Every structure is written in structure tokens, then in C-alpha cells.
Amino acid sequence: MSETDVDLEARLAEQDSFEPPESFVEQANVSDPEIYDEFENNWPECWEAAADLLEWTDDYDQVLDDSNPPFYQWFTDGELNASANCLDRHLEERADEAAIEWVGEPVDEDNRTYTYGELHREVNEFAAALRDLGVEEDDVVTLYMPMIPELPVAMLACARIGAPHSVVFAGFSADALATRMNAADSEYLVTCDGYYRRGDPLDHFDKATTGLDGVEHAVDTVVVERLPSEDAFPNTWPEQTRGYDELVENHAGETVEPVDRDAEDMLFLMYTSGTTGQPKGVKHTTGGYLSWAAWTSQAVLDIKPDDTYFCSADIGWITGHSYIVYGPLALGTTTMMYEGTPDYPDRNRLWEIIEEYEANQLYTAPTAIRAFMKWGEEYPDSHDLSSLRLLGTVGEPINPRAWKWYYKHIGDESCPVVDTWWQTETGGMMLTTLPGVGEMKPGSAGPPLPGLSADVVDMSGSPVGAGEAGYLVVNKPWPGMLRTLYNNDDRFINEYWREYSNVDSDDSADWVYFPEDGAKLDEDGYITVLGRVDDVLNVSGHRLGTMEIESAIVGVEGVAEAAVVGGDHDIKGEAVYTYVITEDGYEETEELREAIIEGVEDAIGPIARPEAVIFTPELPKTRSGKIMRRLLENIANAEDLGDTSTLRNPEVVEDIQRKVQSD
């Protein structure tokens, strides 16, 4: 441990709360603590504040229609267009200001600035092209692209013509793409030929076309040619495939009138992992979602039009949707997009970018912060990061040590840190301190935002006392909430509401949203989120369903049964541990282990790659035949196993334990 580390440890270790820096408060978008009472006393009308950040082509009648819970409607009968809100209305003042600063790979060769004027032009051209291809209002367009500017262009082009997009993370596998396109009945795909990872070109089109083989209906495909000819792969394009550049050129200079969308019309779908093997198609709307993304960007990230704001997430996840694309662009700021990884070509990369672009905010994930910490503070310390005004984290719980390291070494103790808890389903931030108002407590996300109501309850739904652990619930609807799971209202109710609501009631007060996270409340109303209580793992901030991974594994020849659990991991937070029983006649070989790993990567993607594959003749089961996952978790983490007497087969536990330890 270096000396500065020791000092930091000594000075900060004791401190468990931090006041927002005075210099920050003075300039903050929100600095009046009264906002909490004001919003509570004026609910739901308080959310006009969010709607007011947008431009509406037709005013809404009612802020909230809660007559048919949990199918809430926000800003009823209002009309607007998300693309017009993110682009057109900024043109008068900001046409020549940067909307997107794209930092591409390879290093220094390929950076692009899109001004609002340029972004507006390209979005219009691509919107015209999509129409020409036959895309109509309400058709779902799948976007399967990495962090290239054409991804937000395509998102906004879809929004412009009222076609909901469904972005599939580029790191997801061909199978995952097919599952999502089938589930959404999506007949259009925009993808790319390839992209760079750590300097090497990667063939993405091959994966996309393999995915298309699994799609049950005809698909029109558009391909962005990202790679220069010397790095391009020799792919032949199937029929019904068009080049992005050619399409945009054919429509050069065209404009497309933004389609008026009802506030409740779908803006996009985003698939996320759940308890079953089938991903959930989370539906977000135009008015509620966009106003939520904009309001939280302003209140929590403190975004102002003249900022250069940097979120290091991938647009393929909800964080990138809300806080790289929609929120920042709705506010007319400059949003950065980084194509590469933080440690290529070396560990200075992120800090160089922040220094060069003079970024004002950094919004990243605990897994990244833990990696920075491990690499050492010499990397950030050798860069001028004084442009930073605010730091944020999202995706998983952050341990106080990582929080303090971030605060000290990245923020120089002069930037507030917002630890923002939220989910794909919530559309935007829910629990966090307001950076210009609330005291920060490392490790605790904070109170619910003004106008929100959350609690920690026991199994029966009664609030637990301060300091006790329980289940997080949200008691009132909010504009950014998901409206349903695509084509599956029943699953929507079962997954999120049934647990703690009186589902027979028409009274909104009887409906409680259950995010499936465990949490703890302190005496000041701050909530520490402990992690998922369903069968979902959080690997490097990415949600992975254990069922999805298990079904990939049992699909591998030679596997009879599999159980997947999360094991602790220094950097990733959680890692995928798999316990596998082979089929009769199959050996527990290295080849089978590799086939299993490959099977998981094919079904989901490299992010789900198992950390360990443990062969076992049996899985520990209760007398009623349920797999005891808790035990498997304890084994993965080399923890005390507690009482195993309720098992049908206690002897198997020791056997597995021995195997894990010898691995």
C-alpha cells in the first residue's frame, strides 16, 4: 500500500458521511432542500416539472391517470416527439455546438464531433431511409450495434418516425439477438460490419447474420460499414441487406417531419433478464420516459447545456439509453461516447479522455471503479481532472472503500458522488442523494428522489425498522416507470406487483412495485441496496438470469443438469459459478468444460462466461427436490455452510466443496 493510500485510509475510513462541496452547491441545478416537501405536498402535479423540460406539440390533460393500476398513464393525451425534443428544438441556439463527441478506436485516428445541426441532418436522412425501407409507425426496429455514432442516430431516427427501437447489446450473442427479434416480432435490423476491440477488428456482421438464421420471419437489414476496407471482413451480404452510407446518401438533405406521438406511445423496448429463461421486454413510453430521463439528468447529474458530460456505459444497456442519449440530448448538452475500453492502449485512457475533452461529469459503474483502484491512483493522479464537477455510479452496490477512492482520487474531494439506484424497468434514477442538497453516505444510495416513495419491508409487506434488512418496494407510480412487459401484461403484474399489492383493487394505494432487490434503511431514511433477491446475477453491473445460463448449459451435449449461482468477485462484483452433472456415458473432461463455456457464450455472450465449471455427481437438494442455491453460493464463496440437515443428500455437499477448493 502506498503512503497516500494509508493517509486516505486513515482520514477517510472513519468518515461515514460527506457534505456536498460548497462550490458545487452554489451552482447546482437543484440546491433547495425544500424540494422534497414541495414535491410530496404537490403529488403527482409535481411531475409537471419533468414535463416542462420537454416541448409538447399538444398539451396533456392530466398528469397521472391512476384509474387502472398498475397500468398507469402519465401526461395523458399530450403529444410530443422524442427526436424533436433531443434535436430540433436546440437548433436555434445550439446548431453549431457539439451534441455528441465520439471517441473511437483505434486511438486518435477516428474521433468525430457531431454538432446538433449535423446530428439533426443525419437523423433526418436516416429517418427518410427507414421510411423508404417500409418502416411504419409502431414497427419495432432492432438495433444491434456497438458504441458507434450510428447507434444514437438510428435511435433518434426511429423516434422521429414513431417506430420503437429495441437495442440489443452488441456483446450479446447471435442467439440472444434472435430471441429478442422473435419476441418483438421485429422485421428490421440495423447492425454493422464490425468494430474494434483493443485495436483488433471484430466481425459483428457474421454474428448478426447467424442470429438472423434463427429469426422466424423475413427481416430487412441495414449495415453500417464501420471498418475501413483494409480491416473489413469478406462477408457477403444476404438479400434484403442495404448499406447505411448508401441509404443516407440517397436521402441527402431530406427532412422528415417528426411524427406526433401520444405521451403513452412506446418509445422503445429493452429486453432484460428475469427469473425465467425468457428475457423481459420492458416497454417505455415517449412522454413519461423522456421527461424522467431529462429531469433526473438535470437534478441528479446536474447537466447544463454547456457541459461536456461523460457516461462510460454502453448504449446497449438502459444506462446508455437514459444517460448517454435521451437525457443529455433532451437537455441540449454535449454527451460523450467512448467506443473503447478503459485499459486500452493503457490504463491512462479514460483519464486522458476526460482531460482532453474537459469532461464535467463522469458517470460510471462500481466494477470500473474497483478496477481503477486495483490499477492504482498513479494513472488518474498524473492527469488534470479538474474539469470534473460531479461523479456518479450505477449498476450495483458500491462498497464504501471504492466510493472513497473515487471521491478522493477522481473527484479530488471536490465533486459530489451520486450513487444512483435504478433499473431498466424504472427508466431512470430512483434512489440517490441530490448532489447539491443531500449529505452523502458511502455505500448507501440515499433517499428516494423527491416525489418518489420507497420503503424497505419484510416478507409480509410491513416496514422494517432502521438498520434491518428487508425488501425494497416503491409505493407510488412515477413517470419513467415501465408500462408493461411487451405483449405480456400478466407477466408484468406477476413479476413486479403481485408480491406486495392487493391485485384485486382498483385503488392505486393498494399497488406496490417490487424491484426484486434486498435493502436496508437507516434512521435518516437512506437506503442501502443489497442486491437482487431473485435468480438474477449482477456481473460487472450487467444483469444475467441464472435460468438463461442454466438452459444454455443443459443444451450442451453431455450435460444432464446444471445450477448457476453467483460467487464473489473482486472486480466483477459477482461471477458466474456453474455446477454441472454429466449425462450417463459422458466423462467430466476438459473438452466438456470448454463446450459448456462456449455454450454459454453462444447463448448469451462473453459477459456470461462462467468463472468456474464444477462437475458434481449430484446437486444439493431439499427434501421437496429444490436445488439449494444458497449452499452452492456459500461453497463458491468458501463460506460456512450452516445447517445442511434439511438436505435430502447432505453428503454431496462435502464432495462439491472439496472439488471447488482443489480447483
Contacts to ligand 6R9 by CB under 6 A: 272, 317-319, 394-397, 419-424, 445, 515, 517, 529, 531-532, 538, 541, 543
Which residues are within 8 A (CB) of 601 and not within 5 positions of it... i.e. 6 or more apart? Answer: 173, 608, 609
The least CB distance from residue 549 to ligand 6R9, in Å, is 16
Q: Give the nearer residue to ligand 6R9 in terms of CB position, either 226 or 532.
A: 532
Min separation Cβ 548 and ligand 6R9, Å: 14
Smallest separation (angstroms) from ligand 6R9 to the CB of 501: 18
Comparison of 437 and 592: residue with beta carbon closer to ligand 6R9:
437
Question: Is residue 151 a contact partner of residue 226, using CB atoms and an 8 Å limit?
Answer: no
* Residue with smaller CB distance to ligand 6R9, 223 or 445: 445
Residue among 217, 573, 239, 172 nearest 396 (CA): 573
Nearest-Å Rg of the Cα atoms of the chain is 24
Task: Name the minimum Å distance from CB 429 to ligand 6R9.
Answer: 8
Instruction: Name the H helices within 419-518.
Output: 489-496
Pairing of strands 220-224, 573-582: unpaired
- Helix, coil or strand: residue 18: strand
Cβ closest to ligand 6R9, residue 54 vs residue 482: 482
Q: Which is nearer to ligand 6R9, 313 or 631 (CB)?
A: 313
The C-alpha atoms of residue 634 and residue 660 are separated, in whole angstroms, by 11
Cell of 30: 437543484
- Those residues whose C-beta lies under 8 Å from the C-beta of residue 25, and which sit 6 or more positions away, are 31, 436, 437
Burial-class residue 609 by CB neighbours within 10 Å (0-12, 13-18, 19+).
middle
Residue nearest to ligand 6R9 (CB): 424
Q: Can you tell me the distance from the alpha carbon of 540 to that of 612, in angstroms, rounded to the nearest whole number? A: 16
CA distances to 142, 481, 492, 510 from 487, in Å: 17, 17, 9, 24
Q: Which is nearer to ligand 6R9, 84 or 549 (CB)?
A: 549
| Lookup: cell for 571 | 472486480
Q: What are phi and psi of 604, to 5 degrees?
A: -125, -55
Shortest Cβ distance from residue 280 to ligand 6R9 (Å)? 10
Q: How far apart are CA 213 and CA 215, in angstroms?
A: 6
**Closest approach of Cβ 428 to ligand 6R9, in Å?**
9
Closest separation in Å from C-beta 22 to ligand 6R9: 25
Kind of pairing between the strands at 165-167 and 141-144:
parallel
Least distance CB 436 / ligand 6R9 (angstroms): 19
Please, which residue, 105 or 396, has the CB nearer to ligand 6R9?
Answer: 396
Instruction: Select 133 or 369, whichever has its Cβ closest to ligand 6R9.
Output: 369
For ligand 6R9, the closer of residues 269 and 394 by Cβ is 394
